[in-house]
Amino acid sequence: MIKSVIFSLACTCWVAPYAAFAAPYAAFADEAKPTEAKPTGTEQKNAERRTRIDWAEIKLSGSYPEHQQMPGLFGELVEGLSTCMERLHQAARDKSIKGVILHIDGVEIGWARLNELQSAIAEVKAAGKPIWARMNDGGNKDYLLAAACDRILMPESGTLMLTGLRAEVMFYKNLFEMFDVKADMLRVGAFKSAAEPYTRSEMSPEFRQEMEEILDDYYATMVSQIAAARKLSEENVKAFIDEGLLSPARAKELGLIDDIAYHDQVSDLIAHADKSLDVRIRADYRRKVASTELDLFSLMELLSGGSSQTTSTKPRIAVLRLEGAIVSGSSPMSLFSEASISSDRIVPLIEKIGKDENVKAILLRIDSPGGSALASDLIWRALEATHKPVVASMGDTAASGGYYISMGADAIFAEPGTLTGSIGVVGGKIALDGLMKKFGVTTSVIQRGKNSGVMSSVTTFSDSERETMQRMLNTVYEQFTQKAAAGRHMEYAALEALARGRVYTGRQAKELGLVDQLGTLADAVAYTRKLVGDEAGLLELEDLPKAQSPMEMLMGQTTPASQPLADLAAFLPESARPALRHFSVLRQITDEPVLLILPFDVRFE
């Protein structure tokens, strides 16, 4: 079918504590166990002469999604970004904790979430507490987190993979030709390159220029952060990066880490040979773990959960977390079980909080590559119609449709590494007639009206169909740019010159006036409080939408997941998954008349 697509190219903080609804199932991993062995008389006397100091250990691993998470039946609770941030905040405030150890083990986060976690590390340091990092192996993002700490430890068998940055984009034109599939795409904007993976075998000059500028910005950030944290010159940092894989011994020699040590030696390093200290490391500090015992009452509570709608009646600021592709209608399960932003779910929620006099402002936290143009516009309009102060905070990505829903805010905050912009339009369809003929399937057509085949997935556009399609794309582009210009209080010509499908980092967008300030979610919260006269911080912060319960997800599910592909994806390395993610893109092209979305295989690692 023909679809008009607005794609972006993109690869997050005060955060309210995660409200664990399943209290019967959860406990804190670092809570004291009642069955500890009693010390002997000699050990008791020695312990009485020693001073106990407690350090918190927090493991950082995985992707840390922005939206609220639901627990599984028996596994650990899924840890989102807000939960992890709150654990670090608690460690900073906990008077019984004298220091923090971060066990960094393969984080899969974007540049904005990296910045959020670095801000939480800075809070621990500001509280006067040392914070150390230990890694077995470490990649770029792992090391940038570790470098924000006071001290870095690695075992002698580890590897520091400080290899620089690389952007990889997969192209499928040759694959389509092998199967006689034709991608017939149109666009508005020279830099609107989202359809290139389907129509080209390599980057266009405009696409390459755009990616080079973004990669330069990220690389400069990476080098400057390491140089500042490790007190090295930027020239030396670049030289160290060019060495590639580093052994811990070499990394220590270069000043990139501080100690070569195993996990069991950490306590001795903290004590620093002081026999009067009794160092206790509280593993998995304040992490909720699920119980292995599940009675009928607990099971029913888990399945039913709570409403995803607002339930508070207190004066408050609504923190609306929007993560994932933007879809119209119900929210189908994605290939990778990723979050999505359903207009059918979000618009009624916005309308409800808009009518609530106790909601004094709305704070958007957006991490979205975009999606349905219709859904993006409906969400944008719902926010406009509340007539409440709206502040937007951008996460890893707020591009195309993600930028659309934020552009009417009273103020827009972006992280330095946010990918945003991508104000442009791509439209088209995938014609399958050639592929079907290979399998012996032919199609007979009877039509009335010269453009009746514009939505057909059998043939490419006729000249007349291409003309009407381009006219529609031009209209969508004009609507997008007109609303963006109004939201940013810019002359249309000035805004349009910045549009044309071009993608920017948050730092670049700030210089160009597409966002107002660079800052974390915590900065956006502070600004919102000031906007409504709540400098004292008395207003409650309510995270919305609430996590859906398994029962709510089941009852609201109308589109089946691509289970065979999902099963296959589970066995693939992360680097190989972008190819499968394009099935989700192609499905959206088939299902949605107009899209504002990114190609999912652009990676900056």
Residue 547's pLDDT is 73
The pLDDT tens digits for 303-362 are 555 555 666 789 999 999 999 999 887 655 444 456 789 999 999 999 999 999 999 999
pLDDT in tens, 217-262: 999 999 999 999 999 999 999 999 999 999 999 999 999 999 999 9
Q: Which residue has the higher pLDDT, 429 or 414?
A: 414
Structure tokens that stand for 447 in this block: 């039509």
Catalytic one of 400, 406, 562, 584: 400
Residue 13 pLDDT exceeds 80: no
- pLDDT at residue number 425: 83
Q: What domains are there in the chain, each with its CATH number?
A: 3-13+187-204+306-433+500-549+561-604 (3.90.226.10), 23-29+49-163+244-290 (3.90.226.10)
Phi, psi of 81 (to 5 degrees): -60, -40
Residue 36 pLDDT exceeds 50: no
Helix (H, G, I), strand (E, B), or coil: what is residue 572?
Answer: coil
pLDDT greater than 90 at residue 147: yes
Active site residue 400: yes
- Is pLDDT of 107 > 70? yes
Percent of residues, the chain, with pLDDT higher than 90: 64
Give residue-wise pLDDT tens across range 488-543.
Answer: 999 999 999 999 999 999 999 999 999 999 999 999 999 999 999 999 999 999 99
Tokens of 148: 């924000």
Of 98, 129, 192, 510, the active-site residue reads 192
Answer yes or no: is pLDDT of 95 > 90: yes
What 84-87 contacts at long range (C-beta under 8 Å, 24+ apart), as own/partner pairs, is 84/58, 84/60, 84/117, 84/120, 85/13, 85/14, 85/15, 85/116, 85/117, 85/120, 86/15, 86/16, 86/17, 86/18, 87/58, 87/285, 87/286, 87/287
Please indicate whether residue 275 is annotated as part of the active site.
no
Answer whether residue 566 shows pLDDT above 80. no
End-to-end CA distance of the chain: 34
